[in-house]
Amino acid sequence: MHHEGDPTMILAPGLDEQQDDIQALLGSGLGWLKASRFRLLTITDPAAARRWLGELATKGLVASVAQVIDRALRPQQLCAVAFSHAGLDRLGVTPAEDFPFPTAFRSGQGSSLRQSLLRDPPRDEWQWSDCSEVAGVAAAHILLGHWWPDGAELSLPALTGVATVREVNGCPRFFNRGFLEEPFGFRDGLSQPLILGLRPDDGSAAPGPAPSTLRPEARDHVIAAGEFILGYRNEYNELSYCPDVQGWSPPPRGPAACSRFALNGSYLAVREIEQHVEAYRAFDRGRAQVAGCPAGASAGELMMGRRRDGRPLTSPAEPPPGPVDTKNDFRYRVEDAQGFITPPGSHVRRSNPRDTLGHDVASGIRSAKLHRLLRRGRPFRRDDQSVGMFFIACNTDLERQFEFVLQRWIHNPGFAGLEQQDDPLVGEYGARARRNLSLPGLPAGQCLSLASLTTTVGGGYFFLPGLRAFKFIAQVRAEPAR
Ligand code: HEM
């Protein structure tokens, strides 16, 4: 696509030469760092907060993709830092008039506008957000993620100029034999997009997945970089929109590279979701094997749409001997169009319907690729033993990706021809009333009824800047006009 009068938009920069500017979180799930802590901070003194951010930068604690992809460079601890719109404003970062931040990020996930668009429950039930209007709690301005190996926490520069709104501790206990398991006991983090052109962090030297060598079903997960990293070509073959800010003038890097502030950044859609383990166990135990279910799956597995060990429901109930094959290169339309095996309303089939929503397999895959999320959250456990998921989805278009998935699929009571039911795991529809999950083909009753299994207690949208932009934010001197 040609952008008249905007020469910087003609060519995307080479992803390979930008990997030292892209925050590590976009290139890796950081699986070798099993302990984590997420802090939501509100800025009390912008000048002191900038000095603290500057210290994180100069100590090299905010790692890049280049460091995590090369196993020899992998740091033993690292941070990711992201800012809400209110946070950027508080730090004196002023949007350029011609290239403002998009509406969803500007309004904030905690706003009542987003609440109604996302079909969420009232925001006064949340305990924190990126907007100050929620429950009288100060707005989260900064999201600081910190990962380190299991064991004693490594120290960071003391927080200055900020106050903690919320602290959520990721719990290493949720790693089982090296694999992430969410608090209900399911393998998690399996179905992830493979970013085209980005080196995998598995130690192989190949520059990103070579689509031509993959099976067609595996190619379904190879997604254009511009869906997750700002400034690159997306699934429409257009450069993802890059906002700019006043006073930003980076050293030029490569010909015609988009040189705006947001290049190499991403938006994080964050939700803190409590999980009710007793309610889940009672539900799963009560209907251990759902009679007549062709998959021979438990109620919990039908609700999730995967087996607990991560295998798709179309695989045999008893795993063959040897390592578990949690294959992700499967589709629904060919083996299971009507959802007799993987229920159409199950969590995974709603959050990524794969090939089912188009006129045929190819159009279904094409449209699903426009709504993929890169999931980087971690399960948490609090001192009072309550557990849940600190959910983080990275994307470049909040409205087309995170918000679409939530509004049209997860929270949609009429999704895929179903009636008056939403996602059985994270749906909010009728949360206080009876909730149902349709199971096509069951002779006895069409639905499983289930209690509310989760409660969302907070959320926000954060901009994860590239490292040059991060240093710029830390050093901006002008105080915002208040
Ligand atoms: C307590 C909260 C949640 C838990 C415990 C949870 C758990 C899981 C599990 C076990 C899987 C299957 C394994 C995998 O493919 O990685 C999965 C897949 C997925 N989840 Fe969630 N999830 C939660 C919240 C959410 C939310 C809020 C969203 C979106 C807004 C979401 C989006 C997805 C997506 C996109 C997939 C991949 C589906 C696929 O490609 O097949 N999840 N989740």
Three-state SS at 8: helix
Element (H, E) at 182: none
Mutate to test the pocket of ligand 1, among 187, 188, 409 (most ligand atoms within 8 A of CB): 188
Average pLDDT of 455-474?
Answer: 96
410 ligand 1 Cβ < 6 A: yes
| Amino acid 4: pLDDT | 41
Rounded Cα distance, 131 and 140, in Å? 7
Rg (CA), the chain: 22
Among 6-15, 43-52, 65-74, 227-236, the least confident range: 6-15
- Among the listed residues 460, 442, 476, the one whose alpha carbon sits nearest the alpha carbon of residue 392: 460
Dihedral sign computed on CA atoms, order 309, 311, 316, 322: negative
Among 49-58, 216-225, 247-256, the least confident range: 247-256
342 ligand 1 Cβ < 6 A: no
User: pLDDT tens for residues 111-145?
Assistant: 999 999 999 988 988 999 999 866 778 999 999 99
| Amino acid 2: pLDDT | 38
Look at phi and psi of residue 297 and say left if phi exceeds 0, alpha if psi is from -120 to 50, else beta.
Answer: beta
Cβ neighbors of 218 (< 8 A, separation 6 or more) are 328, 329
| Distance in Å, CA 351 to ligand 1 centroid | 7
Atom number, ligand 1, closest to the C-alpha of residue 454: 1
275 ligand 1 Cβ < 6 A: yes
373 ligand 1 Cβ < 6 A: yes
Tell me the DSSP string of 69-132. Answer: HSGGG--SSEEEEEE-HHHHHHTT--B-TTSPPPHHHHH-TTSHHHHHHTTPPPGGG-SEESST
Smallest CA separation from ligand 1 atom 30, residue? 406
| Distance in Å, CA 347 to ligand 1 centroid | 7
Checking if the pLDDT of 251 tops 90, the result is no
Both tokens of 442, joined, read 């069951």
The burial class, CB within 10 Å (0-12 / 13-18 / 19+), for 104 is buried
Average pLDDT of 208-229?
Answer: 86
CA–CA distance from 105 to each of 141, 229, 366, 460, 463 (Å)?
A: 12, 15, 26, 9, 8
Smallest CA separation from ligand 1 atom 24, residue? 426
Both tokens of 202, joined, read 């598995």
426 ligand 1 Cβ < 6 A: yes
Among 6-15, 369-378, 469-478, the least confident range: 6-15
Mutate to test the pocket of ligand 1, among 324, 408, 426, 457 (most ligand atoms within 8 A of CB): 426
The H-assigned helical ranges of 321-476 are 333-336, 347-351, 361-368, 404, 467-475
Smallest CA separation from ligand 1 atom 12, residue? 188
401 ligand 1 Cβ < 6 A: no
- Helix, strand, coil share of the chain (percent; to 5): 25, 20, 55
Both tokens of 474, joined, read 């830390």
Rounded Cα distance, 423 and 435, in Å? 10
User: pLDDT tens for residues 17-71?
Assistant: 899 999 999 999 999 999 999 999 999 999 999 999 999 999 999 999 999 988 8
Checking if the pLDDT of 177 tops 70, the result is yes
Mutate to test the pocket of ligand 1, among 119, 191, 308 (most ligand atoms within 8 A of CB): 191
Owner of token pair 């089939």: 349
| Distance in Å, CA 249 to ligand 1 centroid | 39
| Distance in Å, CA 391 to ligand 1 centroid | 9
Q: Which amino acid is at 51?
A: R
**Dihedral over alpha carbons 59, 65, 69, 73 (to 10 degrees):** -10
Mean pLDDT of the chain: 89
Among 179-183, 204-208, 459-463, the least confident range: 204-208
Other CB atoms within 10 Å distance of the CB of residue 170 = 23
11 ligand 1 Cβ < 6 A: no
Q: Is 394:428 a contact under the CB 8 Å cutoff? A: no
Mutate to test the pocket of ligand 1, among 174, 357, 375, 410 (most ligand atoms within 8 A of CB): 375
